Chains A and B, each alone.
Chain A
């Protein structure tokens, strides 16, 4: 019967019918037209380990003691289906291509992928320099945002001084020479500007006036317009006397600005005289006194 194993015949051995049946017939691959023909032929001799080839299905089967089992195709994957986050091309073969769609959501260095709901996701591209990952205002997704900066804390301080005497006798706003430059670390930061500048005012009459203003680049942020100016404008100063005015003091400006930029930003002061008559003049940094401008970046 099948399963008898292997027998080495020696010269002179007598080959019996049982040996032919056991070692040859029942341990070779028997070819049948179909399963019915096999059943008919082997019904009385079925034994575990028999193998057959059925011509109608082109299949090789083995008898496991209770039934015939296909050998050639048993265990083959006949179809691959895509689950969540997986895509499959040529799912029925012969060789399916399985792709991780989460991985393909990454397009560039720094990309992040996060869930948008059950079994769904999206990509968050890398934020710009200095940004931090935080939860959005609706608490529905992560996002890149400017760091809080400590809320009102001083992030950096810049000081500049100038001591070259500068005089103007014109209505035209003229640079005093005092300026300072700061590069905010965040566009939401504020810049506190502190100016301390020695000013001399001189005029041969009973009244002298001058304007001093604060500029961010070419933008006036505090003080008088381009020319003129007077009592109604911020930054206007006036002195009264008898026949000649000579007034010296230290002009101060404290101004909280919102430059809304991360570019280098220059602050400077400009001044003029209110009236050009009677030899009016105004001098900043007279006798080389030192003017100072301090710029503090305040975190939002």
Chain B
């Protein structure tokens, strides 16, 4: 996993946890939450990506629903906001 993927995964499975990550070497500084295992981190990365996709899809669906309620297209909405 890349460094930024490790960071995203750890922050996803251990919200607000305190740690330092140098390359792929994890130094756990949090006293309230436990250090995640490599398996947890890898699973967390998968879950994080799924959550990102789900969040993006939810936003898209929300936008479509709003445009439908307004009865305008996306381009028309942009013109209104311009």
Contacts and interface: CB of A to CB of B under 8 A. Distances in A.
Contacts of B29: 169-170, 172, 174
A286 B16 CA distance: 20
A277 B20 contact: no
B3 A169 contact: no
Interface in B1-43: 3-4, 7, 11, 15-23, 27, 29-30
Nearest to B27: A174
A281 B7 contact: yes
Interface string B59-82: 000000000000000000000000
B16 A279 contact: yes
Interface stretch (A52-60, A160-168, A292-300): A160-168
A167 B7 contact: yes
Interface of B is mostly: mixed
A172 B7 CA distance: 17
Nearest to A271: B20
B19 A279 contact: no
Contact of A167 (B15, B16, B20, B30): B20
A277 B11 CA distance: 11
Interface in A200-218: none
Contacts of A168: 19-21
Interface residues of B, number: 16
Given A165-B4, A281-B7, A287-B4, A170 B20 contact: yes
Contacts of B18: 169-172, 276
B16 A276 contact: yes
A278 interface: yes
Contacts of B30: 170
A170 B22 contact: no
Nearest to B30: A170
Contacts of A142: none
Contacts of A171: 18
B20 A166 contact: yes
Contacts of A276: 16, 18
User: For A167, A168, A175, A286, which residue has the most chain B Cβ atoms within 10 angstroms?
Assistant: A167
Q: Which 3 A-B pairs have the closest CB atoms?
A: A170-B18, A165-B3, A170-B29
Given A165-B23, A169-B20, A283-B4, 19 more contacts: A164-B23, A165-B3, A165-B21, A165-B22, A166-B20, A166-B22, A167-B3, A167-B7, A167-B19, A168-B19, A169-B16, A169-B29, A170-B30, A174-B27, A177-B22, A276-B18, A281-B7, A283-B7, A287-B3
17 contacts: A165-B21, A165-B23, A166-B20, A167-B20, A168-B19, A169-B16, A169-B29, A170-B19, A172-B18, A277-B16, A279-B11, A279-B16, A281-B11, A283-B3, A283-B4, A286-B3, A287-B4
Interface of A: 164-172, 174-175, 177, 276-281, 283, 286-287
